[in-house]
Amino acid sequence: MAVKLMVCKDKGEVARKAADIIAEQIKAKADSVIGLATGSTPEGTYAELAKKNKVGGISFKKVRTFNLDEYLGIDCEHDQSYRYFMNDRLFNHVDIRMWNTHVLNGMAADPGLECLAFEQKILAEGGVDVWLLGIGNNGHIAFNEPGSAPNSRTRIVKLTESTIKANSDGRFFKNPLEVPHHALSAGIGTICEARRIILLATGANKAAAIKAAVEGPMTMDCPASLLQNHADVTFILDEDAVGKLSRK
């Protein structure tokens, strides 16, 4: 098995291609279970999906969603929580039923039980049909930092210094002291049980991680490389993220 590549001219085309794939899934199965990611990369995809919904191209009324992760200790109404992000970027703009959207609760009284319940909800829904991913500069997917095991499940994770620093640059948390050091995250094993995986990457700053994920060995040093073993995984990249890949 090998990662399938879809190379686009820019981030706008990446967003449209990803939205088209998700829309096709929903058209084929109205009650699809869709896994979602946060961060700047999928924002364009969510805008495209909202457009499709507005013109009646797709409906989210029966769709169920699961989000990859959430900061530990951040309330859902905090403007940097991933629940807030998803409501603001997608859920408030489409006809999805909010009770069908599942984002881990960063303020759960028992975070371990919250993670277990998340896994059980996915099983109860019959598994994830398509999971949308981004990738970190160090190859992390969700908050599965380097060293995460291939069979890891949803759990509490400690963020690396590089991830904390990346979130402290003013784009997200204005005060570095506010950046959480832990999060709840779906595991690599959880993600890889999805029937299909789509990973998005744009910009030259992601090129090294993409090369390691696509052409490097499968290793916990680059969590995204562990996707090479999945039966149906597509990386949708802009030309800058493709970088120096030998196959394009």
Burial of 23 (0-12, 13-18, 19+ CB in 10 A): middle
Note if 10 is an active site residue: no
Active-site pick, 48, 69, 70, 129: 69
Tokens 């090129």 appear where? 207
Note if 138 is an active site residue: yes
Distance between CA 53 and CA 23 in Å, rounded? 9
Distance between CA 134 and CA 53 in Å, rounded? 23
Note if 140 is an active site residue: yes
Active-site pick, 114, 119, 129, 140: 140
Contact criterion met (CB below 8 Å) for 226 and 188? yes
Distance between CA 73 and CA 96 in Å, rounded? 27
Active-site pick, 145, 167, 193, 230: 145
242 is written with which tokens? 């493709």
Note if 77 is an active site residue: no
Sheet with 101-102, side-by-side order of all strands: 4-8, 233-238, 196-201, 130-133, 33-36, 64-67, 101-102
Catalytic machinery residues: 69, 138, 140, 145
